[in-house]
Amino acid sequence: MATRTIEKTDWAAYLNRVSKELGACLAEVEVAGLDIGDQIEAEWITLAGMSYDPKDDVVAVDLVSQDDKPVERLVNKPVELVADETVEGLASLVVADADGERTILRLKKPLALPPA
């Protein structure tokens, strides 16, 4: 596995590229922080897409629950985006915010991304 920090100027393009390749990808979302500990926010549900809005400075992770209800995780004021890429593809993403809270998105099967 190799981790790669994505430059903030590339976040929107990177997350758009990941979203286009998703298909019916299952994901787990964990939130970790000193004040809240580690909590699973979504467990192996369909990842619908991800985006970064530089105007509002927010990363959005959009999922769909097993009963077709939308689930959204917003990371306000993100400071770091780290991709964990294996030989098979993208295995996880970590988004850290200004308060030190981390949102960890794990993919059930690595997502093969085409070259940038």
C-alpha angle with apex 17: 52 to 109, nearest 5 degrees?
105
Average pLDDT over residues 90-113: 90
* Structural domain contains residue 42: yes
What single-letter amino acid sits at 14? Y
* Structural domain contains residue 45: yes
Span 2-42, pLDDT tens digits: 899 999 999 999 999 999 887 778 999 999 998 888 999 99
* Structural domain contains residue 116: no
DSSP labels, 12-76 = HHHHHHHHHT-SS-EEEEEEEETTTEEEEEEEEEEEEEEEEETTTTEEEEEEE-TTS-EEEEEEE
* Structural domain contains residue 67: yes
Buried b (16+ CB within 10 A) or exposed e, 25-38: bebbbbbeeeeeee
pLDDT cut 90: percent of the chain above it: 73
Residue 113: pLDDT band (50, 70, 90) is low
* Structural domain contains residue 115: no
Q: What is the pLDDT of residue 116?
A: 63
* Structural domain contains residue 29: yes
CATH code assigned at 34 = 2.30.29
Report the candidate in 105, 60, 91 with the shortest Cα–Cα distance to residue 78. 60
* Structural domain contains residue 77: yes
The domain of 63 spans: 2-109
Span 60-89, pLDDT tens digits: 999 999 999 999 999 999 999 999 988 888
* Structural domain contains residue 46: yes
Average pLDDT over residues 101-115: 83
Q: Which two tokens stand for residue 63?
A: 């999922």
Q: What is the pLDDT of residue 85?
A: 87
Q: What is the pLDDT of residue 88?
A: 84
The residue count of the chain comes to: 116
| Total structural domains within the chain | 1
